[in-house]
Amino acid sequence: MSGAEVIRMEHIWTRFGDNIVHRDISLSLQRGKILGVVGASGSGKTVLVREMIGLQAPSEGRIYLFGEPLRTADSERRQRLRNRCGVLFQGGALFSALSVFDNIAFSLRELRALDEELISHLVGMKLSMVGLDADDALLMPAELSGGMIKRAALARALIMEPELLLLDEPTSGLDPVLSEEFVSLLSELHRELGFTIVLITHDLDTLRDLCNQVAVLANQQLVAFGTLDDALACTHPFTEQFFHGKRAQRVFETNG
């Protein structure tokens, strides 16, 4: 595979008992790209993303992460590969018993390789990067607004300087203004840091404003993969409904 490829999936099948979730899915993602994964509820979006970084193994097929085959990598090697990835879970998933600072510092402390002074410096850098300040670091998750939760969770995802950032519905629960601000923040960080992004989303504005590649899952298959224009041109019934409904027409045609 190409050295510029961050992810390659070859002929992926995923089964849970008799239930087929993915049927012969193949794709590759180049370094620096932003891939939006869309599909109906239950189409296996989250499962596919978990498989990309070895959190879950497919029933059949091969997956390469940063050029290395996950199937033959031992547990230590898989963990080293995953350490090159950052994850922002749906809803933020901050540890409720830890402050914002301790949430962001968690992964660094788990390494047991850095002193607290350096950890404090690195956490402060990430807080500033996502638009939070030192006072915000002292707050508990229950004291944060929805937008602040997303920013704190993003800082935690970035603390290990990831080459690949995985986001699960990053704008869910945000009002349109906060959603637009968060997408702008992601776009700015992507330009500055150059990481690769895979995000699961149903938000049409996010797809239009952030993603330069789109993967569409439907009927257990990858029915479209490529640019947004490629997805818009797909004639599968799901893409017709998702990309050409009344709201989609306002997003893609009026603003396109």
166, 104: one domain: no
Task: Give the SS3 label for residue 4.
Answer: coil
pLDDT at 196: 96
* Other residues' Cβ atoms within 10 Å of the Cβ of residue 124: 16
137, 185: one domain: no
Name the nearest CA neighbour of 31 among 101, 92, 84, 102.
84
For residue 118, give both structure tokens: 């350096």
For residue 196, give both structure tokens: 């690769």
170, 252: one domain: yes
137, 197: one domain: no
142, 187: one domain: no
CA atoms of 203 and 186, how far apart (whole Å): 15
CA atoms of 134 and 85, how far apart (whole Å): 25
Per the structure, the count of domains in the chain is 2
167, 79: one domain: yes
pLDDT at 3: 53
106, 230: one domain: no
Residue 135: its H or E element: helix 134-137
207, 184: one domain: yes
52, 110: one domain: no
**Within-domain flag for 143:** yes
**Within-domain flag for 166:** yes
pLDDT at 253: 67
Domain boundary among 110, 137, 161: 161
**Within-domain flag for 26:** no
**Within-domain flag for 42:** yes
Strand partners, 45: none
pTM, 2 dp: 0.90
**Within-domain flag for 242:** yes
pLDDT at 2: 47
Question: What are the pLDDT tens digits along the chain (256 aa)?
Answer: 445 899 999 999 999 999 999 999 999 999 999 999 999 888 899 999 999 999 899 999 999 999 999 988 888 898 899 889 999 887 778 889 999 999 999 988 887 777 888 999 999 999 999 999 999 999 999 999 988 999 999 999 999 999 999 999 888 888 888 889 999 999 999 999 999 999 999 888 899 899 999 999 999 999 999 999 999 899 999 998 888 877 777 777 655 4
pLDDT at 215: 96
In this structure, are residues 171 and 183 in contact, taking their beta carbons and an 8 Å threshold?
yes
Helix axes 146-158, 100-111, angle to 10 degrees: 10
Q: What residues contact 38, with CB distance under 8 A and at least 6 apart?
A: 45, 200, 201, 202, 207, 214, 215, 216, 217, 231, 242
48, 122: one domain: no
Name the nearest CA neighbour of 202 among 40, 17, 94, 65.
40
Residues making up the chain, counted from first to last: 256
Name the nearest CA neighbour of 149 among 83, 234, 90.
90
Domain that holds residue 151: 96-161
CA atoms of 85 and 73, how far apart (whole Å): 16
Task: Give the SS3 label for residue 63.
Answer: strand
CA atoms of 172 and 15, how far apart (whole Å): 28
* Other residues' Cβ atoms within 10 Å of the Cβ of residue 27: 18
